[in-house]
Amino acid sequence: MKRLAIYCGSATPADPVYIDNAREVGRTLAERGIGVVYGGGRLGLMGAVADAALAAGGEVIGVIPQALVDAEVAHRGCTELHVVDTMHQRKQAFTDLSDGFVTLPGGTGTMDELWEAMSWAQIGYHAKPVGLLNVAGYYDGLIQFVRTMGDVGFLRAQHRGLLLIDDRLDGLLEQMAAFRPATTIGEIGAKDL
């Protein structure tokens, strides 16, 4: 993996575990020679990942909508900063520029990015690993929800392994390196849906 899209929040939670982890992710990826593709912001977890990767000599590519540039939240120190018109263009650029996706804690925007990466994998728009870093149990409820989707039948058996989950970055990166794409909905055929 040469580059990973990092999905995370632009907020700075009171508990320092989230910022500390974001910094560790940025630094570790840079030390491993893995570039960061992210939302292009300078605030919160986004800024912490970017700053740590840059400080460790890593490549950081930001992709940010013009509206957020206008709001003066763009990180001007990125290796590259791509300014796009829409959130959809931003997510498409994440997919085009990266070899996989890692989701750190975040809010609704982060969830939007995660769910789109997963749904695109199901459909076959990409065959890249989708990872969830469960920092301090932040995603315990979401992990249970994904299990429930599978148990009920809204997440097909062949897609239950699409979301790679770990509470350690090393473990998640190992899973991502070993990832093999699932059978897509298009390959299944209507009779099996």
Residue 65, helix vs strand vs coil: strand
- Spatial contact of 127 and 99, defined as CB atoms under 8 Å apart: no
- Output the pLDDT for position 75: 97
Q: Is the pLDDT of residue 23 over 90?
A: yes
89 burial level (CB within 10 Å; 0-12, 13-18, 19+): middle
Residues 89-105: tens digit of each pLDDT: 999 999 999 999 999 99
DSSP structure class, residue 7: E
Q: Is the pLDDT of residue 186 over 90?
A: no
Residue 169's contacts (CB-CB under 8 Å, 6 or more residues apart) are 24, 25, 28, 133
d(CA 116, CA 59): 24
Q: Is the pLDDT of residue 20 over 90?
A: yes
- Overall average pLDDT of the 118-130 stretch: 93
Q: Is the pLDDT of residue 193 over 80?
A: no
Domain boundaries, the chain: 3-179
- Overall average pLDDT of the 50-67 stretch: 98
In sequence order, the β-bridge partners of residue 81 are 62
**Tokens for 128?**
């890249």
Question: Taking all residues of the chain, what is their mean pLDDT, rounded to a whole number?
Answer: 94
Instruction: Please give the CATH number for the structural domain made up of 3-179.
Output: 3.40.50.450
Q: What band does 191 get if pLDDT is binned at 50, 70 and 90? A: very low
- Output the pLDDT for position 192: 52
- Output the pLDDT for position 188: 63
In this prediction the pTM is 0.93
What are the φ and ψ backbone dihedral angles of 86, each rounded to 5 degrees? Answer: -130, 165
- Overall average pLDDT of the 19-36 stretch: 98
Residue 170's contacts (CB-CB under 8 Å, 6 or more residues apart) are none
Q: Is the pLDDT of residue 34 over 60?
A: yes
